[in-house]
Structure 1
Amino acid sequence: MESEMITDDDLVQRCMTVLSGLLGTGWQVTRRPAKETKVFDAVLEVKEEVGSTFTQLAVEAKRSVTPRAVETQLVPQVELLRAFNNYTNLLVVAPWLSPPTRKLLEEHGIGYLDLTGNVSLRVSRPAIVIYTVGSARAPKSAAMPGSKTTLAGPKAGRLVRHLVDVPPPHRGVDLQRATGLSLPYISRLLETLESQLLIRRDGRTITQVDWLMLLRARAQESALLTRGSYTGMLAPNGVPALLQQITQLTPEYIDGLAVTGSYAAQRFVQVAVGGQLTLYVANWLKLEDVADELGLLPVAEGADVLLLNEPDPFVRAGAEFVDGVQYVAPSQAALDCLAGPGRMPAEGEALLDFMERWPEEWRTSHNHRQTRPVQH
């Protein structure tokens, strides 16, 4: 059922069916008359068949729920409910609830149920504890209505990188100058970020950025190997020899190749030794020419080198040359690891831990707000 077509009553009915199935025989889930439920979308009575003890669930049916809506709408609502009725629990029902939304609901003791199988409900009398895990990603049918600006795509990548690398405050005009994006697009994306509590604003000025969650959210929306064309290759003499070989290329190639992924993360953290070398290839170079220059061999499987067309020059923002080889900035390396295959997400999390512990090692100072790379 498409989320834009589903009604509040549909959500309530689906909720009752799911709850009945989870509780099993010996329990009754009934709906109170509509005239008794003017404040909420529905009130459900949950009762053991063998006893007289029951609890009430005040149901809020939502087609979508953002972390901001939890903070500004649902938390005040549940606080008011608890002030007047200790025997009724709030239950939020939606087609899908994101991990940050579910975490915030749990922190405030609000029950939830979504149609992908994410359920959390705790009741003291009668004793009910239900916790199940469904989808971590939004099904297409559960996309937020009217939400057109997401964290996917190269333009979003530019804004995310700048918000992560440069501490606030930020204004729209500053972001436009630093990223080259249009003000209308920036405004729309900031609305999305604010609804997810990834940023906080005072008027039009961004005062806080939850950069850890912002990087995770961006990685979830943009898998590394879907951002552009790529090819797997084999380095006949091994990756260490290949890195040394890059330093002997012409400036055009040296400037146009940037290490990301595992080897970029290993500059700061060591989860495992070696791994696949991932190289961004700038848009003025061709993958086949780079492979020829480096003597790489095409392979169907077992590649130890991945040549990836950069989706946007901004992936080289803040890149640094180490021993003659260009490495992407830590924030870009973390993004690519989190969004990569195999062991790369674990390396990304380790790099985030380093970044959180040592922000002075990678964040841009307040006096240096330009992170845009030189264009060729």
Structure 2
Amino acid sequence: MESPLSREAHLLEQGIQALSGLLGPDWQVTQRPNKSKAFDALLEVRAEGDSTFTQLAVEAAQTVPPRFVMERLVPRVQLLREVNHYTNLLVIAPWISSQSRELLQQHGIAYLDLTGNTGIRVSRPAIIIRTAGAEKAPRSAQREASRTTLAGPKAGRLVRLLADVPPPHRATDLHRMSGLSLPYVSRLLDALEDQLLIRREGRVITDVDWGGVLHARVQETNLLSPGTYQGFLAPNGVRALLQQIADLPLMYDAGISDIGGLSVTGSYAAQRFVQVAVGGQLVLYTASWVDTGRMADELGLLPVAESADVLLLDEPDPFVRHGAEFVGGVQYVAPSQAVLDCLAGPGRMPAEGEALLAFMERHPEQWRTSRNDSRTPPLQH
């Protein structure tokens, strides 16, 4: 297994090569003796035949979360500017998230990651480099991070609770409400704190950037993963189908008549609060006990491979029904779940998700609950 020192040396080598390639053959990038050891490397950059040069103090890091930027890099660059106006700070990493890149730009810190995200601006000699690379962490970078991520149903539970229930929270509160193990909750909260999405005083969460938490979750999810849904046509239209769903308790035999097994998400869930466009695909979560084929037959749905106006989506976790509400006899997921699904969906759904998120930010009293009112979600039928 590669040691931390050898990984750092390899990262530096790759970063310096990438910088040389971006500057081109008319520039020289030379590694100078690093006497202070305050940084991982000291680079001298100059154009061929020009006596003017700039120095780049390099910080090589396997991960660059926003908290690392604010607590480690920003103080360093401030100190560096006080000591030497002609030396700039450059952070090199396998991958840097968009949130961290934005913070680096705000504080005048140059960055370069191995996926192609680069932001370097030096006044003398004049160097301006801005390139775009991966927006999502490649698997290699994820392995290097070796941290709990927001992917998977378990993380979805915690994300929903942080959005729906205002702080203060303790890890033990979230453990109790989510049904997740306390060690997992603690690890995920640590990861969210690294992203500056939550703030804690001691062991108490005092502030949650719930919109940022929802966006971060979406980066790790895809609403319509292959094999998780089936497409259908509703011969009489979606509106008529919604009325049929409201009548399901009358249509189904005893023991299969739980209307709570279907819940509307996506565009139609968002349109309860905001109107970006009319209509769209009707996306329905089906609970694990629902026989999708029988349900489709009862509703008169026609299976299609393309141009479906109804999608029956396997429920990834019963928690998607947490906070769901019945309207006109039809169950709709909570706004926070609708936002997640719209933002992770295709077509116009992300725009509907952003509109719903803006509504939620303006009117938190219409959808957020209190910790005392938060109820443990249905985990099984």
- TM-score interval, smaller chain: over 0.9
| Alpha-carbon RMSD | 2.0
| Alpha-carbon offset, residue 316 of structure 1 | 0.8
Q: Which amino acid counterpart does residue 26 of structure 1 have in structure 2?
A: D
Structure 2: segments with no counterpart, 5+ residues: 251-256
Matched, 1:91 2:87: no
Tell me if the contact between 2:166 and 2:368 (Cα under 8 Å) persists in the aligned partners. Answer: yes
Aligned twin of 1:290: 295
2:263 alignment counterpart:
258
Q: Report how far residue 145 of structure 1 moved.
A: 3.1
Determine whether 1:170 maps to 2:169.
yes
The separation in 2 between residues aligned to 1:84 and 1:307, in whole angstroms, is 62
Q: Aligned AA for 1:180?
A: G
Provide the C-alpha distance between the structure 1 equivalents of 2:6 and 2:69, rounded to a whole number of angstroms: 21
1:275 counterpart = 2:274: no
Deviations 1:6-59 (Å, cap 9, x if unpaired)?
62222222222222222224322111124x352211111111224221111000
Paired residues in the alignment total 374
1:10 aligns with 2:10: yes
1:192-341 equivalences in 2 (<5 Å): 192-226=191-225, 229-250=228-249, 252-341=257-346
Letter in 2 for 1:62: A
Superposition misfits of 4+ residues, deviation over 6 angstroms: 2-6
**Identical aligned residues as a percent:** 68
TM-fit CA distance, 1:217: 1.0
Q: For the structure 1 residues 344 and 118, does the alpha-carbon distance in structure 2 shift closer, same or farther, using more than 3 Å as the test? A: same
**How far 1:254 moved relative to its partner?**
2.2
Q: Which one-letter code corresponds to 2:345 in the other structure?
A: G
In structure 1, how many angstroms separate the alpha carbons of the residues matched to 2:72 and 2:345?
36
Instruction: Call closer, same or farther: CA 1:299–1:168 in 2, change over 3 Å.
Output: same
SS in 1 for 2:100: helix
For residue 253 of structure 2, what is the aligned residue in structure 1? none
The Cα shift of 1:144 comes to: 4.7
Secondary structure of the 1:250 match is: helix
Distance between the aligned counterparts of 1:46 and 1:339, measured in 2? 42
CA distance 1:126–1:146, shift in 2 (3 Å): closer
For 2:368, the equivalent position in structure 1 comes to 363
Distance apart, 1:241 and its partner CA:
0.9
Q: Deviations over 1:58-103 (max 9, x none)?
A: 0011111211111111111111111111110100001111112112
Q: TM-score, normalised by structure 2?
A: 0.93
Q: What secondary structure is seen at the aligned counterpart in 2 of 1:86?
A: coil
Residue 43 in 1 paired to residue 42 in 2? yes
Q: Give the whole-Å Cα distance in 2 for the aligned partners of 1:144 and 1:59.
A: 23
Equivalent runs, 1:126-137 vs 2, <5 Å: 126-137=125-136
1:228–1:311 Cα contact (<8 Å) kept: no
* CA contact 1:96–1:116 (8 Å) conserved in 2: yes
Aligned to 1:28: 28
For 2:306, what is the secondary structure of its paired residue? coil
Structure 1 residues 116 and 287: CA distance shift in structure 2, 3 A: same
- Do 2:61 and 2:92's aligned partners in 1 also have CA atoms closer than 8 Å? yes
